[in-house]
Structure 1
Amino acid sequence: MRITEKDTLLFIGDSITDSGRDRTDPASLGDGYVHGIARTLRDRAGTGPGPTVINRGISGHRVYDLEPRWTTDVIDHRPTVVTVKIGINDTWRRYDQELLSPVDEFEACLDRLLTETERRLSARLVVITPFLLPVTPGQEDWFEDLAPRTDAVLRTALAHNALVVRADLVLPRAAEEEGAAELAPDGVHPTPLGHRLIADAWFAEVDAAPPTP
């Protein structure tokens, strides 16, 4: 797929997508991977307008938090490409708040969101897998919950013919050389380098043009 100036790209998810955006400013993209993708597309457009990029990530959200705002934050913008990055908070809340998100319910909710998008839009779907780069011994235990959840994300993406950005593979591979803390100091929230790797992976899967360094 080649992104053009006619496209509207919408990104939705949790804090990794939010990345400090100003929610009082609809045009704010934060300072993470969404901003990096938008900057590359703008640079590529030269003097042209470039595609529209919208960030609707909200820090702390689980998949269930996306559902009540899906029409307002996704459908009503009539995007041509929808990228969803969700799942790590569904795992994290089990370990810090004992708030469970059963994988079957998580999968059913994500499926409803993608089904609704297909029903109401002619948009290309993109799913970014959740990831974890353990920086403490206790975080290793999270994979008991996260691994089946990632499998659920992959199954749902396949069922909807969505493009898949494998952040769960790209970031751990990079961490072998860079170190986990260099990519995500708390194991979850990316550094600028971590965000750049996500943006690179998004371009590699969604659009063949390489990002600007």
Structure 2
Amino acid sequence: MLLTADDRLLFIGDSITDAGRDYTDSTSLGNGYVREIARALRSGDGPGQSPTVINKGINGERVYDLETRWTTDVIDQRPTVVTVKIGINDTWRRYDGGILSPVDEFESCLDRILSRTTRDLAARLLVITPFLLPVTPDQETWHEDLSPRTEAVLRTARSHGAEVVRADVLLPRAAEEFGRAALAPDGVHPSPQGHELLAEAWLAKAESAVPRR
């Protein structure tokens, strides 16, 4: 495994990363995929032998919100691995609040924060794509906004040499077996099973990735 006790793994994004973490406790990891990753990395290791895991997800955020706190919540934390999961709220707010996030502006913002990361940190980058498992008829229309946004995430991630976890492929495929609502009851937020699948995919990608030089 490429990750060591010297690594600092920072996860940042919206409620899917947040997963109910306690903002007053810097060690809180929430109840989602970040916690599952930390548990997996601790298994079989003695105290102090697994990487430090930091959760900086905040419920409801869009990519622009990440940019406003990138210095304090990412750069100043000096992580060795940065994982970004963002995009679904940039789509969701269009449909529930009429708040637009044009894909070109979204892509430019994501490019800026990933550029800062590669410039200011010697950190490996992982990006988890946004996903949707529609459970209501109106959610089916969201793909018209989310699909080009996901393509923007892929372009930007690859242009910065980031490893990509294709949640947009993984979860729909799993839903063919388990059902959409079993993996994301509201179509957006993963169930415990959904979070486990994300954690497994992240671990597989992180363990196979080549460290940045």
TM range (shorter): over 0.9
1:89 alignment counterpart:
89
Q: Distance in 1 between matches of 2:83 and 2:48?
A: 23
Q: Distance in 1 between matches of 2:176 and 2:207?
A: 26
Q: Distance in 1 between matches of 2:159 and 2:78?
A: 22
TM-score, normalization: structure 2? Answer: 0.96
Q: Distance in 2 between matches of 1:168 and 1:44?
A: 31
Quote how far apart the aligned CAs of 1:43 are: 1.1
1:146 alignment counterpart:
146
2:121 alignment counterpart:
121
TM-score, normalization: structure 1? Answer: 0.96
Quote how far apart the aligned CAs of 1:61 are: 0.1
2:104 matches 1:104: yes
Q: Distance in 1 between matches of 2:48 and 2:61?
A: 35
Map Cα deviations across residues 96-123 of structure 1 (whole Å, 9 max, x no partner).
0000000000000000000001111000
Q: Distance in 2 between matches of 1:11 and 1:177?
A: 28
2:184 matches 1:184: yes
Quote how far apart the aligned CAs of 1:44 are: 3.7
SS across alignment from 1:45:
coil
Say whether the 8 Å CA contact 2:32–2:195 is kept in structure 1.
yes
**Once structures 1 and 2 are overlaid, which stretch shifts more, 164-173 or 37-46?**
37-46
SS across alignment from 2:70:
helix
* Number of aligned residues: 208
Map Cα deviations across residues 144-189 of structure 1 (whole Å, 9 max, x no partner).
0000000000000110000000000000000001000000000000
1:162 alignment counterpart:
162
Q: Distance in 1 between matches of 2:101 and 2:47?
A: 46
Quote how far apart the aligned CAs of 1:46 are: 3.1
1:13 alignment counterpart:
13
Structure 2 runs not aligned, ≥5 long: 209-213
Quote how far apart the aligned CAs of 1:49 are: 3.2
SS across alignment from 1:57:
coil
| Structural RMSD (CA) | 0.9
Identity value in percent: 72
Q: Distance in 2 between matches of 1:111 and 1:201?
A: 23
2:2 alignment counterpart:
2
Say whether the 8 Å CA contact 2:83–2:126 is kept in structure 1.
yes
1:45 alignment counterpart:
45
Say whether the 8 Å CA contact 2:4–2:49 is kept in structure 1.
no
Aligned partner letter, 1:104: D
Q: Distance in 2 between matches of 1:86 and 1:207?
A: 22
Say whether the 8 Å CA contact 1:19–1:32 is kept in structure 2.
yes
Structure 1 runs not aligned, ≥5 long: 209-213
SS across alignment from 1:149:
helix
Say whether the 8 Å CA contact 1:5–1:45 is kept in structure 2.
no
Map Cα deviations across residues 80-100 of structure 1 (whole Å, 9 max, x no partner).
000000000000000000000
Q: Distance in 2 between matches of 1:162 and 1:154?
A: 9
